[in-house]
């Protein structure tokens, strides 16, 4: 019976083990292997020689050249080049126990795999530490093991940073719940903290869809000790729901009690609600007037999910009111129907644009959908999806959401939001305008978000490569509530960096020059009496999707190595 041989991959004549695989990924294409000897087992002893920038960027040779270069002469060492990477070949000593044909086959295999190593090193041209390439390091193989000399032992370790935890119940800044009457019969709920910090910067938090200012209480209590902090409820959400029925049902016609219990299901709207549409344009205008009338000065705006889109939209239209924008897993799109200003002809064909009351053909559908999504079991399932760490206590968030769904205007508000038109600016257009206006932007994204996946954050980073990007893991769609210690630490450092005009480095960067590199660190803090750690990866201005792929492979290799230990 023929046994299936286990496939083996060679690295310069040695087995490709987790150790030397890790070596390849750390060296990238900044150093080339130079073979200057062989061990007693016929394995190469290699020295890594740093390459110049010009040699790395040279064009690759064609297939004919590669085929001709494979025909090395056995009488003397020869030198070949591929993509500007020098490689000197040396013949291994013949093993007296092998036949001439077998020895020649092994020699050809060593040469072939050596060339494959060069191609691999050239392809992984992401980056290499300057200290690794600034000196020669010995690469050796003894008894099948591969190692390095003169390499710092902590080169593969993730630096750990101790950060403060959340304040206890007595140490946090008190939170005040307030209402602001924006328009007649339209009141906006918000929470504030840190009013005593009269000379401190103002920070405004904008929530995601379906929640409200309560979702930022961990920021209000903590950051309120250093800044003046506000959190806003969008109209139609949270506690910014109407205090009276915008389109009451005429009870004289004998409507059912179900319709009577739901606001906005009548036939005629009240005067104050005739043009009321819970759209992103309305929320952008709401934020603008809130900053002008309540806060009264430019602010740092922090938005999660839908709040991130609104924050960016507001900053693009009102750069004079914004000091900076921090996006926490910001959704890159909102609204399904065309905007009436951008597409006036197309919008005329739409049967409904989200105004109140609900049309008769939409009411029944709204009731059916609302009964499903407002069910407590459905809400619990959604919370399980958006929080990567299921040990997080979300009972308070759950109770707040249940309270919102029980408001009589909640169902009609939900229908208006779903049928409201898109904004006048898309997410990408708002980004471009903020870039032109010089609005500082910072990206903080939970890596395990099942809705706004990391690819959307990378797209923003690709459009604005100069902005800092922090990838947090494990964290889901709501990192500010799941890992508030990390978000608060990053926000503090980002604001200090902007307030100092760059004299204070960005969070996790010891030197300002590091802003162009990629850095991975592990943040440790105490939570509920136990130690917890979160990995945070900073992507600098030299970010590329290729570097991202290589970094992901590095993390997987590190996990693989840990399993072998």
CB 492 within 8 A of CB 223: yes
- Retrieve residue 236's tokens: 């139609």
Is the pLDDT confidence value at 21 over 70?
A: no
* Sign of CA pseudo-dihedral 243, 248, 252, 255: negative
- Provide the pLDDT for residue 14: 39
Instruction: Give the pairing type, strands 10-11 and 299-304.
Output: unpaired
pLDDT at 13 over 80: no
Which secondary structure element, helix H or strand E, spans residue 373, and what is its range? helix 360-373
What pLDDT is stored for residue 77 in this prediction?
Answer: 39
For 441-500, write each residue's pLDDT tens digit.
Answer: 999 999 999 999 988 999 999 999 999 999 999 999 999 999 999 999 999 999 999 999
Q: What is the pLDDT of residue 169?
A: 82
562 closest CA partner among 1, 7, 14, 19: 19
Provide the pLDDT confidence category of residue 170 given band limits of 50, 70 and 90: confident
What is the predicted pLDDT for the residue at 158?
Answer: 78
Of 434, 436, 446, the closest CA to residue 473 belongs to: 446
Query: Taking a C-beta distance cutoff of 8 angstroms, is the pair 507, 494 a contact?
Result: yes
Are the C-beta atoms of residues 467 and 442 closer than 8 Å to each other?
Answer: yes
CA distances from 408 to 247, 254, 343, 431 (A): 12, 19, 33, 37
Tell me the pLDDT tens digit for each residue of 307-350: 999 999 999 999 999 999 999 999 999 998 999 888 888 877 88
| Alpha carbon distance 286, 429 (integer Å) | 20
Arithmetic mean of pLDDT over the chain: 78
The C-alpha atoms of residue 91 and residue 76 are separated, in whole angstroms, by: 8
Threshold 0.85, pTM exceeds: no
Two tokens, residue 322: 């914004």
Mean pLDDT of 542-550: 64
Mean pLDDT of the region 146-152: 35
Please give the pLDDT value at position 454. 86
d(CA 141, CA 136): 16
Least confident of 74-88, 175-189, 256-270: 74-88
- Please give the structure tokens belonging to residue 188: 């906006």
Q: Distance between CA 174 and CA 222 in Å, rounded?
A: 9
Task: Note the pLDDT of residue 512.
Answer: 61
Mean pLDDT, rounded, for 268-293 = 96
Question: Given this model, what pLDDT does residue 250 score?
Answer: 77
Helices in 124-164 by DSSP H: which ranges?
130-133
- How sure is the predictor about 510, in pLDDT bands with cuts at 50, 70 and 90? confident
Q: C-alpha distances in angstroms, 337 versus 95, 340, 386, 417, 424?
A: 76, 9, 26, 11, 12
């Amino acid at each position: 019976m023929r046994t299936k041989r286990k496939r083996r991959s060679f690295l310069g004549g040695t087995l490709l083990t987790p150790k030397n695989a890790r070596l390849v990924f750390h060296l990238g294409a900044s150093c080339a292997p130079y073979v200057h000897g062989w061990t007693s087992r016929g394995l190469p002893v290699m020295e890594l020689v740093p390459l110049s920038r010009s040699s790395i960027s040279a064009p690759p040779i064609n297939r004919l050249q590669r085929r001709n270069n494979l025909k090395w002469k056995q009488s003397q060492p020869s030198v070949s080049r591929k993509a500007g990477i020098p490689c000197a070949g040396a013949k291994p000593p013949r093993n007296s126990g092998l036949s001439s044909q077998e020895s020649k086959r092994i020699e050809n295999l060593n040469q072939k795999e050596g060339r494959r190593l060069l191609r691999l090193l050239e392809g992984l041209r992401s980056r290499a530490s300057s200290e690794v390439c600034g000196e020669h390091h010995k690469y050796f193989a003894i008894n099948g093991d591969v190692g390095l000399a003169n390499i710092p032992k902590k080169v593969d370790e993730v630096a750990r940073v101790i950060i403060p935890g959340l304040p206890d119940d007595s140490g946090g800044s008190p939170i005040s719940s307030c209402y602001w009457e924006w328009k007649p019969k339209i009141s906006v709920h918000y929470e504030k903290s840190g009013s005593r910090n009269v000379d401190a910067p103002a920070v405004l938090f904008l929530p995601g869809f379906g929640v409200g200012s309560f979702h930022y209480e961990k920021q209000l209590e903590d950051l309120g000790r250093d800044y003046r902090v506000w959190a806003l409820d969008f109209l139609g959400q949270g506690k910014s729901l109407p205090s009276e029925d915008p389109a009451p049902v005429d009870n004289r016609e004998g409507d059912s009690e179900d319709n009577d219990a739901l606001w906005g299901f009548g036939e005629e709207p009240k005067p104050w609600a005739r043009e009321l549409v819970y759209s992103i344009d309305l929320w952008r205008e709401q934020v603008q007037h809130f900053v002008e009338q309540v806060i009264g000065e430019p602010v740092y705006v922090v938005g999660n999910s839908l709040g991130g889109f609104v924050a960016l939209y507001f900053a693009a239209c009102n750069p004079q009111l914004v000091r900076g924008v921090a996006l926490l897993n910001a959704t890159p799109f909102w609204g399904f129907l065309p905007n009436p200003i951008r597409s006036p002809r197309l919008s005329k064909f739409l049967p409904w644009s989200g105004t109140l009351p609900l049309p008769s053909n939409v009411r029944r559908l709204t009731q059916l959908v609302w009964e499903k999504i407002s069910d407590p079991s459905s809400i619990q399932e959604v919370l399980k999806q958006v929080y990567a760490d299921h040990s997080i206590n979300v009972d308070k968030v759950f109770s707040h959401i249940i309270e919102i769904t029980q408001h009589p205007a909640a169902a009609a508000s939900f229908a208006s939001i779903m049928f409201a038109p898109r904004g006048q600016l898309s997410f990408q257009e708002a980004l471009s305008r903020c870039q032109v206006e010089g609005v500082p932007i910072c990206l903080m994204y939970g890596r395990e978000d099942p809705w706004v996946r990391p690819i959307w954050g990378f797209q923003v980073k690709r459009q604005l490569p100069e902005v800092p990007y922090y990838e947090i893991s494990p964290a889901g769609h709501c990192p500010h509530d799941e890992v508030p210690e990390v978000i608060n630490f990053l926000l503090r450092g980002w604001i200090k960096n902007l307030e100092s005009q760059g004299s204070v480095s960005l969070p996790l960067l010891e030197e300002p020059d590091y802003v162009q590199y990629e850095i991975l660190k592990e943040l440790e803090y105490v939570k509920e009496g136990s130690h917890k750690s979160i990995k945070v990866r900073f992507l600098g201005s030299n970010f590329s999707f290729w570097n991202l792929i290589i970094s992901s492979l590095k993390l997987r290799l590190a996990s693989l190595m840990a399993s072998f230990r």
